[in-house]
Structure 1
Amino acid sequence: MENTKFGCFFLVFLGIFSATLANQEKDRITWLPGQPENVNFAQYSGYVTVDKSAGKALFYWLTESPSNPESKPLLLWLNGGPGCSSVAYGAAEEIGPFHIKNDGKSLYLNKYSWNKEANLLFLESPVGVGFSYSNRSSDLYALGDSRTAKDAYKFLVKWFNRFPQYKHREFYIAGESYAGHYVPQLSQLIYRRNKGIAKPEINFKGFMVGNAVTDDYYDYIGTFEYWWTHGLISDSTYKSLKTACLAGSSQHPSIVCNTALEMADSEFGNIDPYSIYTRPCNSTASMKRSLRGRYPWMTRAYDPCTERYSNQYFNLPEVQLAMHANVTKLPYPWSTCSDIVGTYWSDSPQSMLPIYRELIAAGLKIWVFSGDTDAVVPITATRYSIDALRLPTVNNWSPWYDNGRVGGWSQEYKGLTYVTITGAGHEVPLHRPRQAFILFNHFLKDRSMPSRSR
């Protein structure tokens, strides 16, 4: 009898294991159009249904590490907007192993891809972003922070069931811009769901955010100060902004605040606020809207033409076929940012600082970084938010070095590390890929940024 029970159990286990392998293989990317020859890592992409009744599914792209992927952690990368694609930004022009050539048809390897240190999971979230979809169109008009976090959590639970080899593996979350909301909120949800579980399947260890929307009040103070101290706006506009905007919300600014913001925008002139010292792409056909929903008055954005290449590449039928994407034949083309999602955003808490306090107390690893040439979520805004946490300093503000040159500055607090990257704009890994790679390496190892003596 015992042997019979064991045999039945073994057959059930074998059936589940075989089905899991089959689902993984169904998502395996065997070859991407325009992919270089010397690719030595596995990659998968496809859909995970997060609400069967609504036909709601999120699209992911996993690029494993080329060396010893089974021993490396898993990193989930999220872009913000709300409404912008992590495939377009995080994967295709920042930390992913492939970047797109200017022909919009072929790829080249990113020398400083973060998949050398971790397995990278890119998620297009929420529904309506990129290839992610819902068959219930009303879902696109009822999105917000809370819904996004809950759907992302459902995605992770189901994704780990599809890829059980990643269960119990060290897991981190990173992102930038409005992901300064997504990342802490998803982190909090995972942390709370893991409470009381001795060995959680999602072995969450910490998060990292860059040029991150954090707190409406401090973001405004720091942003206006950055504009003024960098000569982007007049004295009178600076005073108007402080008078009109600080009492309100950046998600829903008052009429008077909007007037002041529009005046500031006109005084900027023809510069790129996402990277104030960078010459923008001559083409205006595609403009990044990483914070379009958050700051609707900010009409220009960083566009070194990479978005145009993404729009070409990910709309190619052969690319979508290779990535198991657009299986429902969406009635609109893939785009870097959704025109709908950010416009109808309904839920955006004014501050993430209470979540920081909770997760710092929990002992999670938390790093925050800033590119210092970004005028949209500038270094001053982030410093004001961190200062508001009133954390004890462990290591004082000091420069860190890359090959003898200052790469930026850092300060270590009890429970949080803050790092700046000199010369980088809103998308740090795009502007300073080598320095961003060094940052990620030290984050994973929880080591201080390199000093001159190293």
Structure 2
Amino acid sequence: MIVLFLAALVSLASAGIKEDHEVKDLPGLNGTLSFKQYAGYFSISPTRKLAYWLLESQGNPNKDPLMLWLDGGPGCSSLSGILLENGPFRISTAGKPDGVLYENPHAYNKFANVLYLEAPAGVGFSRLDDDKFSFTDNETATDNLKFLQEFLKAYSEYENRDFFISGISYAGCYVPHLADTIINHKDEIKLNLKGIAMGNAITDQKWLNQLSIPNTAFYGILRLNKLNEWTNEYCPTGFENFCGKEVAQSPTANVPINRYDFADQCGPDCEEPFMQAFLNNHKVKDALHFEHKHWTHCNESLMNTFFQNLCDDAEALVRDLLAHKIRVLYYFGTTDNRVPFISGDFFARKIGGNGELTHWFVNGVYSGTKTHYPNNITFTTVLGAGHPSAKHKPQQVANVIQKFISGDDNWDA
């Protein structure tokens, strides 16, 4: 009897949290939404609490999978995923200084319930009240697991739901670490982990600068004779072998281009002021149940902490996930030179072996390559996309993610 009474109290408390966290009005948004959204905090320790924003599916929220979105950095906010990449609304750069939102018809919550998490603590609106706490990828994964446990107490409808983890850039480290942590604590969390999807993902930090060199040659930014000269002198065994510290001497070091997108002269600075103004609007903070903390896209202090102990290589984690029948997707924009697609190609081939190369189209327009390997790792390119891929190619990237989640092998749309 006592057990039933306590269970009822927990259920009422959880229902109260969900009701309190519902976002009923969002400044800057024109029109009404066809889905529910929730935002707020869950405490994971006496000194750390994580901020989240949940967007229910516009399809079938009661049956569609739950997808967790993590941004990279390390130390950058996942809310940029909503406002600049794959959310149902984007921040306008032509509107008022404090932000006007417009519809994104290629949102991920068209086919999934999407949970955006600001992690680790100290990023964005998330709170870190211990100046001496130092994060690693493992500690971040442990905190994210604790968050998911607290989240499921309030949103029990997602228990045992199909679950996917996704993200960009340094999430190439965050995501497999969290997936591995979930597998190792499967009896402690009621989620049916099915797959992970990472865009423009870091797989091994040391390769990034080296592989940006042939990438620039592919696009004609670096002349082939310069590439050959440098390769012969510093990397005679080929780019698939690490060339060492000489990478710093590469001929691309001072090329005046946007490393995140060859085709985008302005880069992230174009949207950054508008996004920051919007999220620092007190009315927006109140609507999202966030504290009146100054929001910045990236926490430089946390970033510097991570740089002392960066993710070296995700290979062992990804191999373990594949052994547990977790599907893995890597997608890369071809005009990204910060995390070049060649790095993802090398990584997938190293793990996957011999894969089948195909091509995919959206509305009859060539959109990229897809290589699927027998052990369920897939590598794809998104033609003309930068970093992040969904910024300029939202329809193409949403198509990739939807097909991956549904298990549809035909990526044409």
Q: TM-score, normalised by structure 1?
A: 0.83
1:274 correspondence with 2:260: yes
Residue 240 to residue 223, structure 1, CA distance change in 2 (3 Å): farther
Residue 27 to residue 242, structure 1, CA distance change in 2 (3 Å): farther
Aligned equivalents of 1:387, 1:307: Cα separation in 2: 36
Using the TM superposition, name which of 100-109 and 307-316 deviates more: 100-109
- Partner in structure 2 of residue 422 of structure 1: 383
Aligned equivalents of 2:91, 2:400: Cα separation in 1: 24
For residues 276-300 of structure 1, give each alpha carbon's deviation from its aligned partner in whole angstroms, at most 9, with x where no partner exists: 02232xxxxxxxxxxxxxxxxxxxx
1:188 correspondence with 2:180: yes
1:212 correspondence with 2:201: yes
Q: Is the 8 A contact 2:58 2:111 kept in 1?
A: no
Aligned residues: 401
Q: Which blocks of at least 5 consecutive residues in structure 1 are unaligned?
A: 249-253, 281-301
1:241-256 equivalences under 5 Å are 242=235, 246=242, 248=244
Q: Which amino acid aligns with 1:274?
A: Y
Q: Which amino acid aligns with 1:361?
A: A
Q: Secondary structure at the match of 2:116?
A: strand
1:153 correspondence with 2:145: yes
Q: Is the 8 A contact 2:209 2:247 kept in 1?
A: no
Q: Is the 8 A contact 1:218 1:381 kept in 2?
A: yes
Aligned equivalents of 1:239, 1:303: Cα separation in 2: 35
Structure 2 residue corresponding to 1:385, chosen from 343, 347, 352: 347
1:314 correspondence with 2:274: no
Q: Which amino acid aligns with 2:360?
A: W
1:398 correspondence with 2:358: yes
Output the aligned Cα RMSD. Answer: 2.2
Q: Which amino acid aligns with 2:271?
A: T
Aligned equivalents of 1:232, 1:38: Cα separation in 2: 46
Using the TM superposition, name which of 27-36 and 383-392 deviates more: 383-392
1:55-454 equivalences under 5 Å are 55-88=47-80, 90-102=81-93, 103=96, 104-139=98-133, 142-194=134-186, 197=187, 201-233=190-222, 234-235=226-227, 236=229, 242=235, 246=242, 248=244, 257-258=247-248, 260=249, 264-266=252-254, 268-269=255-256, 271-280=257-266, 302-303=267-268, 305-326=270-291, 329-330=292-293, 333-345=294-306, 346-393=308-355, 396-414=356-374, 415-451=376-412
Q: Is the 8 A contact 1:218 1:385 kept in 2?
A: no
Aligned equivalents of 2:154, 2:411: Cα separation in 1: 38
Aligned equivalents of 2:234, 2:143: Cα separation in 1: 36
Deviation at 1:117, TM superposition (A): 0.3
Once the two structures are aligned, what percentage of the paired residues are identical?
A: 29
Using the TM superposition, name which of 178-187 and 155-164 deviates more: 155-164
Q: Is the 8 A contact 1:75 1:174 kept in 2?
A: yes
Residue 32 to residue 246, structure 1, CA distance change in 2 (3 Å): same
Deviation at 1:319, TM superposition (A): 0.8
- Partner in structure 1 of residue 11 of structure 2: 17
For residues 371-429 of structure 1, give each alpha carbon's deviation from its aligned partner in whole angstroms, at most 9, with x where no partner exists: 11111111111111112114343xx2121111222111111101211111111111111
Q: Which amino acid aligns with 1:31?
A: D
Q: Is the 8 A contact 2:173 2:203 kept in 1?
A: yes
Aligned equivalents of 1:190, 1:240: Cα separation in 2: 45
1:23-42 equivalences under 5 Å are 23-42=17-36
Aligned equivalents of 2:99, 2:234: Cα separation in 1: 44
Aligned equivalents of 1:264, 1:241: Cα separation in 2: 14
Q: Is the 8 A contact 2:367 2:382 kept in 1?
A: yes
Aligned equivalents of 1:106, 1:370: Cα separation in 2: 29
Using the TM superposition, name which of 70-79 and 396-405 deviates more: 396-405
Deviation at 1:226, TM superposition (A): 1.1
Q: Secondary structure at the match of 2:59?
A: coil
Q: Which amino acid aligns with 2:151?
A: W
Q: Secondary structure at the match of 2:132?
A: helix
Aligned equivalents of 1:191, 1:276: Cα separation in 2: 38
Q: Which amino acid aligns with 2:242?
A: L
Aligned equivalents of 1:16, 1:157: Cα separation in 2: 14
Using the TM superposition, name which of 171-180 and 238-247 deviates more: 238-247
Aligned equivalents of 1:369, 1:187: Cα separation in 2: 18
Q: Which amino acid aligns with 1:264?
A: T
Q: Is the 8 A contact 1:398 1:411 kept in 2?
A: yes
Aligned equivalents of 1:100, 1:359: Cα separation in 2: 36
Residue 240 to residue 224, structure 1, CA distance change in 2 (3 Å): farther
